[in-house]
Amino acid sequence: MQSVEMIPFGLLAGFVDDKEVRITEISTESFCFRVREQVERPRHIRIGFYDLSESMYREVELESYHFMEKRQEQWYVSYTVEVFQQDYVQAVQKLFREYTGYIRARIEGTDGEMAQITCNYPVNQDEIHAKSMEEQKSIWFSGAQIRPVVRGMELALALDRRIWYNLYERNTIEKFTELYWKENGIGGWEQHKIIPDRLYIGNAFCHLLLPGEEQLFALMEKANVENVGITLVFPCMREFQVEEMVKLLKKVENWCEKRQIRVEILVNDWGMAALVRENGEYLEPCLGVLLNKQKKDPRMHYKKGSTRGLGENNLQAGFYRRFLKDTYGINRYEWESCGYPQVFPQGKNSLHLPYYQTNTSQYCPLYASCTEGERGKQRLPESCPGYCEQYAYIYPEHLHMAGRYNSLFGLDEELVKHPEQLKAYQQAGIDRLVIGL
């Protein structure tokens, strides 16, 4: 009788009455399980088999069985159960076939081959990729056009690195917007001269990509004169930055008070949220994308099985939104378009597109590659000449993702190709679009 011991409990789960038990060995004729205390005349025994081909559990309820052996060990009780059911035999045989293939792929194959077995990942397409970020963007945005597909939604452009800070500083908002679209290969400016209502100034991921203080206030002053709303964006704040950040927030508060305007502050850690709450009535904190946890992965469309709850997170809970409002004064939530339908809560919701962040490292892998020759030799950069202005990580074309500065980003290709889908987002509760190219 062939049996397999200690199959991972993610693939094989046992239940005796309402108690989950650990199955330690299984064959087509019997199985062993252990519990902390002995079992007295169980009414129901169920075994859940994970089906790798369908990415779901299939449950077998045992009706014909008997307990063959009971062993009292020092810390637990072990039982051996003989089973007389054909559906049980078939489920075990299928589990053995899939588990054997899984083990063989883990030992002999690459990660891509492993993914091909488990979710039909197209490993043969992994060698197809662009030669540069410019070429990659030309592929992604080929034929993309500015179109006024929605009305009544606020439009914002994200200025998240030096090239955009400098470009806006030298040009009017109209000329800057024209160049912003054209620099990214997006047409339609001549037909639809759409001017943003707001600018997001700063970077949510890297503190070295924030504008200098002098330039920051120059950009704010220019936006204010041109009647453009202002949202200042900050990344996760490290301990050594706290004192400097307190001083900067006070200066921003004073600037706002003199002009009697309010400025949004996009926060990406709780310390920053507390500082904004403490340092001014003219500052409005917004929940940044690093605090608004979403399920994001460019491989998500390879996922099998149930997608229930995929588009939801903790912001659907009213008590959590009340906590954010009462504790930090947060009423606006920043979301990213991730390539699947999402559920948005009551309140103010901004949607960032077409990119969405999946990973961020404060110990920058791109900086490590440029200075050490290996992305694994990472450390916190104290200063940086701006390698990310010239370099990026390129990934297989079918993944629609890239590595920019210290983060990885996916592209929501559907929204690029079919911007009319934004109407559905508006109906779902989005009142502001934030374009970051």
pLDDT in tens, 5-24: 999 888 999 999 989 999 99
Query: Is the pLDDT reported for residue 221 higher than 90?
Result: yes
Amino acid found at 240: F
Provide the percentage of residues in the chain whose pLDDT is more than 70: 99
Q: What CATH number labels 3-108?
A: 2.40.10.430
The closest alpha carbon to 12, from 40, 69, 52, belongs to 52
- Judge whether residue 214 has pLDDT over 90: yes
Say what the pLDDT of residue 332 is: 97
> What is the rounded CA–CA span in Å between residue 297 and residue 292?
15
pLDDT digits (tens, 9 = 90+) for 385-395: 989 889 999 99
What pLDDT digit, counting tens, does each position of 66-97 carry?
Answer: 998 889 999 999 999 999 999 999 999 999 99
Name the band, by pLDDT with cuts 50, 70 and 90, for residue 213. very high
In this structure, of 186-190, 192-196, 401-405, the range with the lowest mean pLDDT score is 186-190
pLDDT at 148 over 80: no
How do beta strands 401-404 and 393-394 pair?
antiparallel
The answer to whether the CB of 366 falls within 8 A of the CB of 387 is: yes
Q: What is the mean pLDDT of the chain?
A: 90
3-state secondary structure 279-333: CCCCEEEEECCCCCCCCCCCCHHHCCCCCCCCCCCHHHCHHHHHHHHHHHCCCEE
Which pTM was predicted?
0.82
Nearest residue to 208 (alpha-carbon basis) of 251, 160, 147: 160
- Measured distance CA(334)–CA(284) in Å, rounded: 13
d(CA 77, CA 37): 6
Cβ(146)–Cβ(424) below 8 Å:
no
Query: Domain boundaries in the chain?
Result: 3-108, 133-435
Q: What is the per-residue pLDDT across 222-264, written as a single tens digit (0 to 9) for each?
A: 999 999 999 999 999 888 889 999 999 999 999 999 999 999 9
Whose tokens are 């999402």? That residue is: 342
The angle at the Cα of 375, spanning 372 to 377, to the nearest 5 degrees, equals 60
Exposure of 405 by Cβ count < 10 A (0-12 exposed, 13-18 middle, 19+ buried)? Answer: buried
**For residue 16, which amino acid is it?**
V
pLDDT of 1 higher than 70: no
191, pLDDT greater than 80: no
The pLDDT tens digits for 402-426 are 999 899 999 998 888 888 888 888 8
Long-range contacts of range 51-54, CB-CB < 8 Å, 24 or more positions apart?
51/94, 51/98, 52/11, 52/98, 52/102, 52/117, 52/118, 53/98, 54/304, 54/305
Contact between 90 and 108 under an 8 Å Cβ cutoff? The reply is no
